[in-house]
Amino acid sequence: MARKKRVRLDKKGRPIKPKREAAQAPAAEPEADEAEEPDCECPYLVVEDWDGVESDWSDIQFVRVHAKAILGVPVGFDNLREKLRKAADEAGATIPPDAMLLLGSGRFLRPVMMEVENADPSNKNVVMPGGVAFSRVHPAPWGEMGKLAKTTGESARERYGRNPDHLWLWYLTCKECSSQRNYETLFIAHYRNDPVAVS
């Protein structure tokens, strides 16, 4: 099974380019890119390491809270980070750099999970989903979310021969960088028990 890889980031949340690439780029380009990029802390993923990839979730921990939603649209999503940090503190957990922040489905109440490490598994807010996750990275402007979630579920069903137990979203961008990064979103089809891929 492929394991997830993290991308090293600078203090502004931008990926650190390998020295080989930096040496080949003209000196003026990085300065121009730096001026255009918004100052936010959104994670960057290497698409090839996540798109169409199966990840082992047998040892991944999350803290979970719920977000109110109006017809599926989360309300106060930005404020949930503090609630999740508090839940992590109460569980004695640490939050890794670029922790996954996953939004589940629901019309009036949606689960939200944040990846943590070393949490007390007996804490009521700690979840260890186990199984595997099949992920896809898509550009997903607001009007496309439902269609792309359905497409991810269909891809997972074709691969494993059954529907996923849960579908999760990880918004990789914020209102500051969404349009520049083409609304990059990670869609995750989660299977509680290890499914066997259909050949």
pLDDT in tens, 29-43: 444 444 466 788 899
CATH architecture of 47-191: Alpha-Beta Barrel (3.20)
Distance separating alpha carbons of residues 176 and 180, to the nearest angstrom:
8
Sort strands 109-116 and 101-103 into parallel, antiparallel or unpaired: antiparallel
Answering whether pTM is above 0.85, one says: no
Q: Quote the Cα angle for 34-35-37, to 5°.
A: 65
Q: What is the mean pLDDT of residues 152-159?
A: 96
| Confidence class for position 156, pLDDT limits 50, 70, 90 | very high
| Confidence class for position 196, pLDDT limits 50, 70, 90 | confident
Beta-bridged to residue 192, according to DSSP, are: none
Q: Are 12 and 39 in contact (CB under 8 A)?
A: yes
**Which of 15-19, 57-61, 84-88 comes out lowest in average pLDDT?**
15-19
Q: Are 113 and 83 in contact (CB under 8 A)?
A: no
Q: What is the mean pLDDT of residues 60-84?
A: 87
pLDDT for 10 beyond 60: no
* Of 142, 186, 139, 178, nearest in space to 42 by CA: 178
Distance separating alpha carbons of residues 89 and 43, to the nearest angstrom:
22
| pLDDT confidence of residue 187 | 97
pLDDT in tens, 118-135: 999 999 999 999 999 999
| Confidence class for position 185, pLDDT limits 50, 70, 90 | very high
Q: Are 169 and 186 in contact (CB under 8 A)?
A: yes
pLDDT in tens, 43-69: 999 999 999 999 999 999 999 999 988
Amino acid at 156: A
Rounded to a whole number of angstroms, the distance between the first and last alpha carbons of the chain is 15
